[in-house]
Amino acid sequence: MQVRMITVGMFQSNCFIASCDETGEAIIIDAGDDGDSILKFVRDQKLRVTMIVNTHAHIDHVSALAEVASALSVPVVMHKNEMPIYENLAQHAMMFGLATPASVSIDRFVADGDVITFGRLSGHVIETPGHSPGGISLAFKDLTPPRIFVGDVLFHGSIGRTDLPGANHQQMVATLENVIMKLPEDMVVYAGHGPETTIGIEKLTNPFLVDLTP
């Protein structure tokens, strides 16, 4: 699997394009902004995008969603518990003095245990609420090393905020303790902001994880 990270928008969110080496099929994870840059990469690499996956629906992760989905004519997937956030983008935009981004219909709701396939690759949906009510991660357990896209649940050296509408600190702690801490230590972590890391590095150095019991 090839992974390209494009950092987009004023919030410096990470948009990922994951593609299958053998078939050229790909998915886009979190089209947060700068739709032109996302589309240019896809077209320059001649990738066949099959869907857009949203780890969550905060404005910095969906601002280019409508533009990219419409240009590529691909379905959009999200957890149903994110819909209250997605349906209130105008309120979120107002908080930051931004224009309200266009929205599109969500074509498929995913939940824990669902599998997203493209080419010869299979990503497993893991529910990781806390930063947002319907936050998901997408894990590729069969790769060497395994890889996971976590949205804003975990960062290199930090975790996602829990002071936003729909966030829940107790849920975040439960997600970190019962999900993140049980992932393989060699698993590569692609976060919604900042550089990639691994579960092992975060267990050793992330102040929000070091005191948790795996």
In tens, the pLDDT along 20-50 reads 999 999 999 999 999 999 999 999 999 999 9
Does residue 213 belong to any structural domain of this protein?
no
Query: What is the span of the domain harbouring residue 158?
Result: 2-205
The total number of structural domains in the chain stands at 1
Does residue 212 belong to any structural domain of this protein?
no
Does residue 43 belong to any structural domain of this protein?
yes
In tens, the pLDDT along 110-165 reads 999 999 999 999 999 999 999 999 999 999 999 999 999 999 999 999 999 999 88
Does residue 76 belong to any structural domain of this protein?
yes
In tens, the pLDDT along 55-73 reads 999 999 999 999 999 999 9
Does residue 211 belong to any structural domain of this protein?
no
Domain containing residue 92: CATH number: 3.60.15.10
Question: CA neighbours within 13 Å on the CB side: how many for 109?
Answer: 7
Tell me the C-alpha distance between 176 and 150, whole Å.
11
Does residue 148 belong to any structural domain of this protein?
yes
Among 93-107, 148-162, 164-178, the least confident range: 93-107
Q: pTM for the complete prediction? A: 0.96
Does residue 73 belong to any structural domain of this protein?
yes
